Chains A and B, each alone.
Chain A
Amino acid sequence: MKSLKNRTSLLLLPSMLFLLLPLYGMVAAIHQSFSVNNQWTLQNYIQLLESERFVASTIFSLKTSLAATLISLVIGLLLTRYFYTFLERNTPRLMVWLPMLFPHFVWGYMVILVLSETGVVSQMLQAAGWISSSSEFPVWTRDSQGIGIIITYVWKEVPFVILMLLPVYSSIKSEYHDLVKTLGGNRWHRFKTVEWPHILPVFIETFLIVFSFTLAAYEVPALLGTTFPEMLSVLSYDWFYGSSWDDRPLAFAAMVLLSLGVILLTAAAYLFLNKKRWKAMRGRST
């Protein structure tokens, strides 16, 4: 069996080659963020942190994507928790996953079609006489609060959260629930002592995936955002592709800072999870 194992590790080779792609990209981005005219410098970062546009954009991005991520996770968790027995069946599951068939920006267009000032909902309210003109409908798309971006992401990510959480919920043995019930625990105790420890690793992983995606994706904010404040991705893309090549290093610096943040967050999350797992194992052995 030893030779089988040695041969098996060769199977990892293609994915390790694949990892060179993002690794090289990252190293090249870092390299270019520290250089002006082929000279090593911190100038790009200083210029970046002094730029009001960048600071405003960072705060706006963090707020928007944190809101979108937390709302998606809570709604996705509630839906999975209450309906997982249905969701194990095919038709209900396909119903929930229907939005995943569309790209994010198409879903963003759907939000414009339905919820813009002249959208379907506004039209229906006018037809029903609840509001007299489209100007009375709240500005939910292309707004400066990021509401349109948040709505699109939540709508699109809830099915993804369900996709991630459903297998975990299905695998929780009902005996655990019975135990808590026998000991007089209520619904909240059941969630806290049985479900939460089970789902925590996947919950954190889902948070990381959704948060880092919504923080740095370009497509939806380009469609549903305004020019100020704008998401970091839109700003960096502008700097990278804008009229002046001088701004390119700024795009690299912004993206490097963003990546660094995501990497630190990921490392912290996995160290936390490993510590928890280690504690749990030690608890079991003594």
Chain B
Amino acid sequence: MSTKKTTFLLLASVLFIAPALILVLQSLSKTWRFQAGEGFTFSLNSYQTLLSDPNLWTATFWSFTVGSGVLIVNLIIGILTGKALAILSFKGKSWVEVLLLTPILIPVLATAMGLHLFMIRAGLADTAAGVMLIHLVPTIPYSIKIFHNSYNQMGRLMLEQPAILGASPVRQLFTVELPLMKPAVRSVTFLTIVISLSQYAITAIIGGGRIITLPMVFYPFLDTANASIMAAFSVWFAALPLLMYVMVELLMRFLPYSQTLRRNRT
């Protein structure tokens, strides 16, 4: 093994693996007090306490619902816009690309505060639909970028071929584009869910304390729960993106050219 590789593995382990590992280990142990000689003592109490909290389950339900909705809209807008940007060339296209990036540059807190009155008037405040809408703001730009890159890599010829053969746009999408864009779909799934799970302030503003998502429960927990329970809660946050990933992966099995479930029917 070269020294470069060793250095890399060492750095990556300390910087990126160790923190996650510490969270997992602390969640599976009683709260550490190394200075008193109390090290790792295996215990599942933290998860028992955490999972017996009814608030956690409602919050998980809302986070999952909001996240799924946000993901579906992200996939639709991301794919349509990505395809358009990859095919079209027009004057000022680079400015349109900048424009599509601005929602993540402008403070999303400003957008949420500005939209608050509108949401109340439209009856969207305090509803899951309103929270989904506001979660679109920090996610859509990333999805567009990812699908734009993906379509660019596929190349114009690959996109023109099915069109020339007379396939409808939907059929083009499901038989040619989506099977080639599986990695992009995976990235979008991950990013969208994690970003949606990360929003406390804008969810509080638009959800008005009615739509309780996981972050809404996490902050108050900090004052009362011990390190072990907080670590378990932290691990719980990573479980949701993984669950969503597995679900998307299973759905993608239905696409043509996948190994199982569906043979290439014509």
Give A residues with C-beta under 8 Å from B. 4-5, 8-9, 11-15, 18-19, 21-22, 24-30, 32, 79, 82-83, 86, 92, 95-107, 109-110, 113-114, 120, 123-124, 126-127, 134, 155, 158-159, 167, 205, 208-209, 212-213, 215-219, 222-223, 233, 236-237, 240-241, 251-252, 255-256, 258-259, 262-263, 266, 270, 274
Contact = CB atoms under 8 A, between A and B. Distances in A.
B194 interface: yes
Interface string B99-123: 1111111111111111101100000
Interface in B69-104: 76-77, 80-81, 83-85, 87-88, 94, 96, 98-104
5 contacts: A96-B16, A98-B17, A103-B198, A219-B198, A223-B222
Interface in B5-54: 5, 8-9, 11-13, 15-17, 19-20, 22-23, 26, 32-35, 37
B140 interface: yes
B227 interface: yes
Contact of A25 (B100, B114, B242): B114
A107 B76 CA distance: 30
Contact of A101 (B107, B200, B238): B238
A57 to B, nearest CB: 14
Given A103-B194, A266-B105, A95 B16 contact: yes
Main secondary structure of the interface of B (DSSP, over half): helix
Contacts of B23: 110, 113
B237 interface: yes
A29 B118 CA distance: 11
Interface centre among B34, B144, B191, B197 (most CB of A within 10 A): B34
B219 A101 contact: no
Given A12-B88, A15-B100, 8 more contacts: A12-B81, A12-B85, A30-B114, A100-B191, A102-B194, A109-B234, A237-B109, A258-B107
A213 B215 CA distance: 18
A215 B35 contact: no
A167 B241 CA distance: 24
Contacts of A11: 80-81, 83-84
Contacts, number: 230
A75 to B, nearest CB: 9
A100 B194 contact: yes
A114 B37 CA distance: 17
Contact of B200 (A12, A27, A105, A124): A105
Residue of B105, B204, B242 with most partner-chain A CB within 10 A: B105
Nearest to B95: A270
Contact of A18 (B34, B77, B87, B197): B77
